[in-house]
Chain A
Amino acid sequence: QKEVEQNSGPLSVPEGAIASLNCTYSDRGSQSFFWYRQYSGKSPELIMSIYSNGDKEDGRFTAQLNKASQYVSLLIRDSQPSDSATYLCAVKRGSQGNLIFGKGTKLSVKP
């Protein structure tokens, strides 16, 4: 089992819809969880971090964490064409560990 798994997509949603991106991880000792957005040919950009079970909202983005089920998700409300990018899930073991990245989910928002 890969350490951090994401559906590679592409995930296609119409403009204005909710995009739901999912990520599962294998290490139960993981404590910190991050979502990065990466436009083609550009560097990853941190958009959300979450450390506790439940939901965390920031504007149109909501991160959800369920440690018992070992999954983390990202919801994007009112999706815009500018949200079209690859979304990387990253998981950190403890406070000292390195980030482990999933391979990313490509999102396409159609006008």
Chain B
Amino acid sequence: DADVTQTPRNRITKTGKRIMLECSQTKGHDRMYWYRQDPGLGLRLIYYSFDVKDINKGEISDGYSVSRQAQAKFSLSLESAIPNQTALYFCATSEQTGTGDGYTFGSGTRLTVV
């Protein structure tokens, strides 16, 4: 089983619909992140969480919300999807302190809003 699992892998939804992307991890890491990736724009941080009670906005949080249900679960919601939220979404995890080994990424969710 993958260390960081994202569901669904692909999703097509209509404008205005609410959608949730889910992420679970078996790494035992405290920190979890949601990124979106668009061609030419690289990886942009949406939200991150250092533990269950700590949620922080990233550089592009507008239109998104998150929930950290447990150490191992971090969900991203689009309350009312719009076409410019069409992107590849990645969940990632990391250790709490120290230089660590960087992030471990999930396989991604390709979201299309029509």
Q: Which A residues have a C-beta under 8 Å from some C-beta of B? A: 8, 31-32, 34, 36, 41-46, 49, 51, 88, 90, 92, 95-96, 98-99, 101-104
Contacts and interface: CB of A to CB of B under 8 A. Distances in A.
Contacts, number: 53
B94 to A, nearest CB: 8
A95 B97 contact: yes
A2 to B, nearest CB: 10
Interface string B80-114: 00000000101000100111111111111010000
Interface residues of B, number: 23
Contact of B108 (A42, A46, A51, A90): A42
A41 B109 CA distance: 10
B102 A99 contact: yes
A41 B102 contact: no
A46 B4 CA distance: 14
B103 A46 contact: yes
Nearest to B110: A41
A104 B94 CA distance: 21
Contacts of B74: none
Given A34-B102, A36-B102, A101 B43 contact: yes
Contacts of B110: 41
B31 to A, nearest CB: 9
Contacts of A88: 42-43
A55 B48 CA distance: 32
A46 B93 CA distance: 13
Contacts of A41: 88, 108, 110
23 contacts: A8-B40, A32-B102, A34-B102, A43-B105, A43-B106, A43-B107, A44-B90, A45-B105, A46-B101, A46-B102, A46-B104, A49-B99, A51-B99, A88-B43, A92-B99, A92-B102, A95-B98, A98-B45, A99-B103, A101-B42, A103-B40, A103-B42, A104-B42
